[in-house]
Amino acid sequence: MTFPHIKQNEDEFQLATYKKMPLAVERGLGSWVWTSDGEKYLDLYGGHAVCGTGHSHPHVVKAIKEQAERVLFYSNLVYSDIRGRAAEKLVSVAPAELIKAFFCNSGTEANENAMRMARMATGREKIVSFSGGFHGRTADSISATFLGKYRKIGEPNVPHHVEAEFGSIESIRAIIDSDTAGVIIEPIQSMAGMREASPEFFTELRAVCDKHGVVLIFDEVQTGVGRIGDWFFAGSEFANWVTPDIVTLAKSLGSGVPVGACLVNERVSSAIKENDLGTTFGGGMLAMAAVLATLEAIEADGMIANATAVEAHLRESLEGMQGVVALHGKGCLLGIEFDGPCTPIYSKLLEQKIITGTSSNPDVLRLLPPLCIAKTEIDWLLEVIREQ
């Protein structure tokens, strides 16, 4: 089918909820996608931070194919070998305090369940979240999202959500108290333009939560699964080795097969009983095969070390480049801040067949490439920026 025909079909039969790029993706491999017109694009947006292992990683594709031929799905009402192995692998790469997984289907669902667990574990209602954070579009998650237009879209919002200032120790000391059930934080605020807080902020955040018996949740939907050059932000040096009570995951966890998860510590785990949480599709066999193979591929291909090397290469190359103010973020979760709006460079890159992303900060161009991206592929981007 030609591109105009594909576009017409989607425009006619799908709700127009996204501003789309003028291309139809037909095929992908590694850091590259091919369009219906046979054009090849370098994907520095990683299919919206989902394709961490790259497009159609052979190990992940093989695992999904084999699982599909065995059994596509059965719910949590039965035991499953692949579900147990995926949970075991996920817990094994997480900080030691996080001992159990709950599987669901998306980032917003993982956050909904995390906030519910915080309320269940404490018997309290108040949830504190941060200016600039994005947590999803369902009721509780959007009510915890104090970023631009989003919270308004979710009106009427769920009550008992309170905003604190991201990175401000004074703000958390003033707002978190013994009425607070949970605090949810996006440790690197991606949609807001890769805003970061200091490692000391996370130490203080943990201390304030401990003082008041509050459940601390890291929303690692973007930062998790190797993207920042460590398996998770939780327990990393960027967090001053702080581990929260719950980590939420989605995006690249299944390399493109929809899956979300909450990883919890003993305190939270012991507060959750039969029937407290549930979802039909969570923990389905196809998704579990994708999770296990994704984690195996990241490990086998040394992708976490590569993410760190890619960041170092970009940092060095952008140093002193005209028009570039700063590079924000970690590993393969990066934002280039320019000295003015980034949309002209975003459009120029797309013209040159390089896909990147914008953010709610007009000056910040977002890069969420596969963790397997090569430095030589990054050089394509640098060449276009240099020509600006």
Q: Which residues bind ligand PLP (CB under 6 A)?
A: 106-108, 111, 134-136, 186, 190, 219, 221-222, 250
At closest approach, how far in Å is the CB of 207 from ligand PLP?
24
At closest approach, how far in Å is the CB of 242 from ligand PLP?
18
Positive/negative CA dihedral, 376, 380, 383, 385: negative
CB 35 within 8 A of CB 23: yes
Which of 248, 317 has the CB closer to ligand PLP? Answer: 248
Look at the block and give the residue holding tokens 């915080």: 118
At closest approach, how far in Å is the CB of 251 from ligand PLP?
6
Best CA proximity match to 57, nearest among 255, 308, 207, 279: 255
Q: How far apart are CA 161 and CA 332, in angstroms?
A: 31
Task: With residue 143 as reference, give the H or E element that holds it.
Answer: helix 139-143
Which of 201, 377 has the CB closer to ligand PLP? Answer: 201
At closest approach, how far in Å is the CB of 4 from ligand PLP?
29
Which single residue brings its beta carbon nearest to ligand PLP?
107
Which of 188, 293 has the CB closer to ligand PLP? Answer: 188
Which of 250, 268 has the CB closer to ligand PLP? Answer: 250
Report the Cα–Cα distance between both ends of the chain, in Å, rounded.
35
At closest approach, how far in Å is the CB of 45 from ligand PLP?
12
At closest approach, how far in Å is the CB of 92 from ligand PLP?
24
Which of 158, 374 has the CB closer to ligand PLP? Answer: 158
Which of 204, 220 has the CB closer to ligand PLP? Answer: 220
DSSP-derived letter for residue 218 is E
Burial group, residue 346, by CB count within 10 angstroms (0-12, 13-18, 19+): middle
CB 226 within 8 A of CB 301: no
